[in-house]
Chains A and B, each alone.
Chain A
């Protein structure tokens, strides 16, 4: 089961996604694939907000780049939250991981594809969270356009693959693709 949840900044998408994971986890341990690379105090505070909300039955797996490896650590039949794709995509594109080898966009896309296939094969429910960034004028920077195009490629692929697609506005979900729909 693959679920794709996206929305604007502070729309409540993480909370919706967490509830979704807990619902599918059905009392079992939930897994949190954290893509956030904590590089300053504002980021630490951000992460803190999310961590404080998740009770003890969540296990965190850090994955600033290799989401495939992180998803592989989720036991069969469990539910996991990947939060968030936007940050992961920016870490791929802008090569922020100083101690890691750079990952190309093609390699990164393959990591996502393999992580999803692995989750499906092992009965892992994977809920992927991302930000909607493409409905406003973009700065006239080739780098930003490339980033948005890359992120949208991931979003379109995910939306096509996912069993359920949710848009979150003010904490409310709009169902773009219903679970169980063909």
Chain B
């Protein structure tokens, strides 16, 4: 798994397109379990997951606590990663950096920022490579 993280309009998509020109792109649907994404995998073809911001925004509408969410996506990430390895699929996740500003006043914005940070940490823990994208330039943070 590879994780690309950066701020808004930092150039993440272009960086991924350049490195994985033949990849299948999948926008996470609100409420979709991560391991279900395995259905769109093509053997030997990289799979790019994006739309994380909207996916996490939708996650707030459920009765799950942040801890429950975290436990679920950790388990799902593990499953998805395993399927990807079996099919020789490089999983690529595009994530937003949202943590370098003021604490938002609105409760849902605070929670979204927390969920986003936790998800990014969990995905990075699974990833063999983590890239930080800033103004179109890349820095390897892991791998």
Q: Which residues of A contact B (CB under 8 A)?
A: 4, 6, 8, 132, 134-138, 145, 148-149, 152-153, 155-156, 158-160, 165, 167, 176-177
A152-B8 contact given A135-B99, A136-B102, CB 8 Å threshold: yes
Q: Select which of A6, A136, A145, A152 is within 8 A of B100 by beta carbon.
A: A136
Q: Report whether B109 and A137 are in contact in the complex, using a CB–CB cutoff of 8 Å.
A: yes
A81 CB to nearest B CB, Å: 19
Q: Report whether A153 and B9 are in contact in the complex, using a CB–CB cutoff of 8 Å.
A: yes
B91 CB to nearest A CB, Å: 24
Q: Report whether B98 and A136 are in contact in the complex, using a CB–CB cutoff of 8 Å.
A: yes
Please give me the 3 A-B residue pairs with the lowest Cβ-Cβ distance, nearest first: A136-B101, A134-B7, A152-B9
Across the interface, which residues of A come within 8 angstroms of B100, CB to CB? 8, 132, 135-136
A160 to B101, CA, bound (A): 25
Q: Report whether B136 and A159 are in contact in the complex, using a CB–CB cutoff of 8 Å.
A: yes
Q: CB-nearest residue of chain B relative to A159?
A: B135
Q: Report whether A167 and B134 are in contact in the complex, using a CB–CB cutoff of 8 Å.
A: yes
Q: Select which of B104, B109, B136, B139 is within 8 A of A156 by beta carbon.
A: B136
Q: Report whether B137 and A177 are in contact in the complex, using a CB–CB cutoff of 8 Å.
A: yes
Q: Report whether B104 and A137 are in contact in the complex, using a CB–CB cutoff of 8 Å.
A: yes
Q: Report whether B101 and A158 are in contact in the complex, using a CB–CB cutoff of 8 Å.
A: no
A-B contact count (CB 8 A): 64
* Interface residues in B15-72 (C-beta closer than 8 Å to A): none
Across the interface, which residues of B come within 8 angstroms of A8, CB to CB? 100
Q: Which of A153, A155, A165 is the most central at the interface, judged by chain B CB atoms within 10 Å of its CB?
A: A155
A177 to B136, CA, bound (A): 11
A134 to B135, CA, bound (A): 10
A160-B136 contact given A135-B101, A137-B113, A152-B8, CB 8 Å threshold: yes
Across the interface, which residues of A come within 8 angstroms of B137, CB to CB? 159, 165, 176-177
A9 CB to nearest B CB, Å: 10
A153 to B9, CA, bound (A): 8
A4 to B97, CA, bound (A): 21
Q: Select which of B8, B99, B109, B113 is within 8 A of A148 by beta carbon.
A: B8
Q: List 27 A–B pairs whose Cβ atoms lie within 8 Å, in order of A's numbering.
A: A8-B100, A132-B7, A132-B100, A135-B7, A135-B8, A135-B99, A135-B100, A136-B7, A136-B100, A136-B102, A137-B113, A138-B8, A145-B8, A148-B8, A152-B9, A152-B11, A156-B9, A156-B10, A156-B11, A159-B134, A159-B136, A159-B137, A160-B136, A165-B135, A165-B137, A167-B134, A176-B139
Q: CB-nearest residue of chain A relative to B53?
A: A137
Q: CB-nearest residue of chain A relative to B113?
A: A137
A155 to B135, CA, bound (A): 6
Q: Report whether A136 and B99 are in contact in the complex, using a CB–CB cutoff of 8 Å.
A: yes
In the complex, whether B123 has a CB less than 8 A from a CB of chain A is: no
A145 to B9, CA, bound (A): 10
Q: Report whether A152 and B104 are in contact in the complex, using a CB–CB cutoff of 8 Å.
A: no
A151 to B9, CA, bound (A): 9
